[in-house]
Structure formats: structure tokens, C-alpha cells
Amino acid sequence: MDIADTFYDDMASAYHLIFADWNVTIEQQGKILSALLPPPALAGKVLDCACGIGTQALGLAGRGYQVEGSDLSTAEVERARQEAGKRGLDIPFRSDDMRLLHTSAAGEYGVVLAFDNALPHLDSDEGIAMALAAMYQRLRPGGKLMLSLRDYGPLMEQRPSMMPPAMFMDEGRRRIVHQVWDWQDERRYVVHLYITCQLPSLTWSSSHFTGHYRALTPQEVASHASKAGFEQVQILQPAASGYYQPIVAAIRPLA
């Protein structure tokens, strides 16, 4: 992850527009994730260490989990705070780098999450190792790690130049979301995210956001997790979990 990359700061106010209905997504993801976790009384504290504007944190907190959130983007952290306040949810949000997690206490959490393709923002295997070590250290023994990411295996072979556009409706007006990918090498690509909205005047407004990714497969993430000391590492495919991306799940051993 390039610390100077402003992708998420730039799109903090518009991030919800990539979903058909963000409020519905919050509820759906909260339901899906709660089915993969112990109940709130047993789960302990949940750290969402790539919280963005709060999609998973809000969904889980709404289901009774004790959640904290952190993210490198200060603008998204502030948006997440505002969204929690609107919903009457008590969620501490703070700025932090998932490679360090210096604002989160060691051994404090029963669950650590990093969802929505957060890990591929890290630009090297060393960065992945740092992040997984930080997550491992924040988990209590027996605590659960869950990471979600794109299934990059086929994508690295195909090297697509764009993702298919999605069109949503907002009170009868169209909203189109699409991505253009500029591949830099066999793994790295620059994403150009476009959000184009039809206005009440029937004219159009378009926003463009640019970010950087380094593709890796769920199998590679699972291997990194094993090297970091995690056990019971498994890959949950969408058909099994109900989540839209593969999930790598693992446990910090008891001893």
C-alpha cells in the first residue's frame, strides 16, 4: 500500500454509491458474517482493521457485537464515525495502518477482520507478512481471523482491461458503476473507478477515483497465514459462506 495513495480519502463521501443499496448491504453482510462467527457473548471484541466507511463494522454492531474499527484513510474513518452516530451505534473508529495496528492492544480481540479486498492494496509479500503478524498479535489465543479478497487466479491469467459495469436505480434515475484496469505487470494494476449518476435535470455527473492493487490468490493468502502462525486455515467460497468474495479464515492457536 502506498501511504500517499488517496483512493479511499478521495471517495469517502461516495463509497456507498458502489452498492445497489448500501443500507441493505450493511444488513446482509452483518447477517452473513454473524453466521460465520461465535455469538456476540462468546466472540469477544471484534477488530475490523480495514473498516472503510464501516460496512462490516456497522452490520456486526447492529447485531450486538462489540466492534472497533480502524483504517488507513482518515476520511473514511470520519465517515464511519458519522454513520455509526446516525444509527445510534457505539463503535470506536480510529486511523491506523493494518501492517502496524499500533492503536489496538495485543491479545485483546476474539475476531480480527479485513474485508472487501483490503489485503491486495499491500504492494509486497513483506507487507502481507507484516499485516498478518500484526493481526495475529492482536488476537487472543483461540481468536479468529477472517479476510476477504477477489478470486484473482483467473483474473491474473485473463488480465481484463475492465470489469463489467453495474447499473442501479435511484428514485428512477440511473447510476452506473464501472472499473477500468491498467495492468503494470503480472500482478500490479491501477484501477480507475467511475461512478456516473443521472441528475434530476437528466444531465449526468461522473466521478473518477484511482487506486492501486497487487493481485494475489486466496490460496496465497492462506499460505501467508500459515507462515504467520495461524492454524485451521481454510478458504470459504461464496457458495458456502454466502459472501460475495472468497474468505480466508484461520485461528490463532491456543498455545
Q: What's the DSSP call for residue 253?
A: -
pLDDT tens per residue, range 7-33: 999 999 999 999 999 999 999 999 999
Residue ranges of the chain assigned to CATH 3.40.50.150 = 7-152+215-251
Residue ranges of the chain assigned to CATH 3.10.450 = 154-214
Q: Side chain identity at 227, as an amino acid letter? A: K
Query: The domain 154-214: what is its CATH number?
Result: 3.10.450
- State what percent of residues in the chain have pLDDT above 70: 98
d(CA 199, CA 228): 49
Query: The domain 7-152+215-251: what is its CATH number?
Result: 3.40.50.150
d(CA 127, CA 196): 34
Query: Among positive and negative, which fits the CA dihedral 137, 143, 149, 151?
Result: positive
48 is written with which cell numbers?
475490523
pLDDT category, 151, cuts 50, 70, 90? very high
What's the predicted TM-score (pTM) here?
A: 0.95
